[in-house]
Chain A
Amino acid sequence: MQSPIAIALFVTVIVSTLLITRWAARRTHSRSEFYAAGSSITGTQNGLAIAGDFMSASTILGVAGLAFSGNSDAVLYIVAPLLGFTIMLLFIAEPLRNLGRYTVPEVVSLRFAGRGVRGFTAAAALVVTIFYLIAQMVGAGALIEILLGVPYSLAVVVVATLMMLYVAFGGMLATTWVQITKAVVLIVGVVLMTVLTFSRVDYDIGSLYSIAREQMSDVLTGNRTGALNSLYSTLSLGLALSLGVCGLPHVLMRFFTVPDARQARRSIVVAMMLIAIVFTIVLFVLSYAAIAFLYGKPEFFDEAGVLRGGANMAVVHLSRLLGGDVLMGIVSAVTFATILAVVAGLTMASAGALAHDLYAQVFRRGTASEAQELRVFRFATFAVTVVAALLGIAFKGTNISFLVSLAFSVAASANFPVLMLSLYWRGLTRRGALLGGAVGLITSTGMLIAGPAIWVDVLGHARPLVGSNYPTLIALPLALLTAWAVSMLDVRRQDLDAQRTFDALAAKSQAEA
């Protein structure tokens, strides 16, 4: 499927984003500019960037792929994140903006002096971003392999190199503008596909659904392995996808790029509206169009009857059907830009946790100079890139949406409870935060590894140690319970200074812009 138009558009995306990086690199010198674009981004721009940061390959390729293969989990992936953004708006965005400067662990550690809590939150942030990066790498490798005929491993290395260049040289400013550009082209792309879909059914959406329903009856038998097949998995994945949003370091970090709390609120409002529009279109138009128009067309399936490139490529094949090579090239380039923007945000968050939290604060105890920290930031960017590329190659072929759900599960079970409790519970002690977060992290990661998707499918064992792939319903309450119990038992040792710190921080966190 090596269309010259697709290749030209891929090259255009790469050149444009590198030009943005060059422009940003000239304006990025200090630590504040590297980590937070000098807090100079407006609320609307940041809203676009958050939408660009959040809507990953799993949104565009994965959700439509799930629906196309008869997996009703697609509905869950669409509906849950908006609840997470509501909670983020009501409870997290303003305190984060008012209290922090560069990273999320920095905000949590304001409550508790010393290195333990900061080290833990930075490590948890790293685990989440690495899981998320693997998903993006797998999506990027598969997409470029099928569209340009480039070997999977080489495609992963190209994406990894680009993300390293954006972040190491352009910092948060380049990352922000790559994300804004991506959000705009993504919206234009899905709207264009929607118009072409409607024109194919004479602008009667009812007939689109009728055709899709007929195809479902003829071809699809329904997927019995999805999360929705049991109430436990449904609730667990629902919790992970909604509360996990509030624990994603690359999204939360974006609140430090705006000047005040009011702009932070505006960011979320803009992001939520854009995400709601795109998600609605992806589920209710593009997924049904893929089911309605692709089944029964042998040119899109291989000899075994499997969609070429796998179900994740349903939207790409649909674009070719609707608008020929030109639209397929556009959609492929948009998806590629999507992946680049998300990996840039993730690399930014990982390198920030490594350089600003672990190196400068935990290991050097705040004695590192700005120049030293920025040198380590660039080295950390390189290290994250290498790890992400290697893991991306190792996880080849794994379902993208599932990989993303792993990141959300850990974010909801480890990052979210520690952040919320440290912002809102006066009684939380250092040990409570550390042990609560550690229990959430270990339980969620342990259950994920012992679950069918990794223990059986990746590691090759006959039976899983844990029956479900979705640990949040167990790991999150366990983390909260541990934090509460340890803090209550620890209460005698809790010094008055920590409580005074909480009172002062609570007042500052609620301050109006």
Chain B
Amino acid sequence: MADESSENVRRARARSRLCLALAGVSCAVFLLFLVLLARAVQQDPLAPLRNVRFSAVGVGINFALALGSVAAFGYWRRIERARAARRAER
């Protein structure tokens, strides 16, 4: 019982750390992109549309981070399931 409880606490802490790290990186990159967008628009209102490469790279990085976070979270979930299965076998 005590083992199970401490395992739950460990799992919850690991999950919180992982989620905060993934969300933190995504948010930081997103905010940086917003600042760059605002700066570009102040020089030329059409800059994000005219400079397709800038927009595509910005959007691409943000999308990749979002989908990467999904993949990382899914991978962690899989590891946790495998660990739980091993514990149940024991």
Give the B-binding residues of A (Cβ under 8 A).
67, 70, 72, 74-76, 78-80, 82-83, 85-87, 89-91, 209, 213, 216, 220-224, 226, 228-231, 234-235, 238, 242, 265, 268-269, 272-273, 276, 280, 283-284, 287-288, 291, 506-507, 510, 512
Q: Given known contacts A75-B37, A83-B66, A235-B34, is B59 in contact with A228 (CB within 8 Å)?
A: no
Contacts of B82 in A (CB 8 A): none
Given contacts A89-B69, A216-B49, whether A79 and B41 have CB atoms under 8 Å apart is: no
- Which of B26, B30, B41, B59 interacts with A78 by CB under 8 Å? B59
A to B CB contacts below 8 Å, 14 in the list = A72-B47, A75-B59, A83-B66, A89-B69, A216-B50, A221-B45, A228-B41, A238-B34, A242-B30, A268-B70, A269-B74, A284-B59, A510-B12, A512-B80
Contacts of A291 in B (CB 8 A): 49
Give Cα distance in the complex from A287 to B35, angstroms: 23
B76 to chain A, nearest CB (A): 11
A492 to B26, CA, bound (A): 37
Interface of B is mostly: helix
User: Which one of A229, A234, A265, A506 has the highest number of Cβ atoms from chain B below 10 Å of its Cβ?
Assistant: A234
- A507 engages B8 (CB within 8 Å): yes
Contact of A222 (CB < 8 Å), options: B8, B23, B44, B73 = B44
B6 at the interface (CB under 8 A from A): no
Q: Which residues from chain A contact B49 at a C-beta distance below 8 Å?
A: 67, 70, 72, 74-75, 216, 287, 291
A128 to chain B: closest CB distance in Å?
A: 22
Q: In the complex the two chains form, is A510's CB within 8 Å of B15's CB?
A: yes
Does A89 contact B73, Cβ atoms closer than 8 Å? yes
**Per-position contact with A for B18-41: 1 when CB-CB < 8 Å, else 0?**
010011001100110111011001
Contact A86 to B66, CB < 8 A, known contacts A265-B74, A284-B56: yes
Q: Name the residue on A nearest B20 (C-beta).
A: A90
A276 close to B66 (CB less than 8 A): yes
Contact yes or no, B67 A87, CB < 8 A: no
- Chain A interface SS verdict (over half): helix
Q: Which residues of B contact A231 (CB under 8 A)?
A: 35, 38
Taking the closest CB of chain B, its distance from the CB of A419, in whole angstroms, is 15
Q: Contact mask B38-68 → A, CB, 8 Å, 1/0? A: 1001101111111010011011001101110
Distance of A506 Cα from B33 Cα, bound (Å): 34
Q: A209-B52, A265-B77 are in contact. Are A83 and B62 (CB under 8 A)?
A: yes
- Is the C-beta of B84 less than 8 angstroms from some C-beta in chain A? yes
CB contacts (< 8 Å) of B26 on chain A: these are 83, 86-87
- Say yes or no: B58 contacts A86, CB within 8 Å: no
Judge whether A223 and B45 touch: CB under 8 Å.
Answer: yes
- A90 proximity list for chain B (CB < 8 A): 19, 22-23, 69, 73
14 more CB-based (< 8 A) A-B contacts, given A85-B66, A268-B70, A291-B49: A75-B58, A76-B34, A78-B59, A89-B70, A213-B50, A216-B49, A221-B45, A222-B45, A226-B45, A229-B42, A234-B37, A235-B38, A507-B8, A512-B81
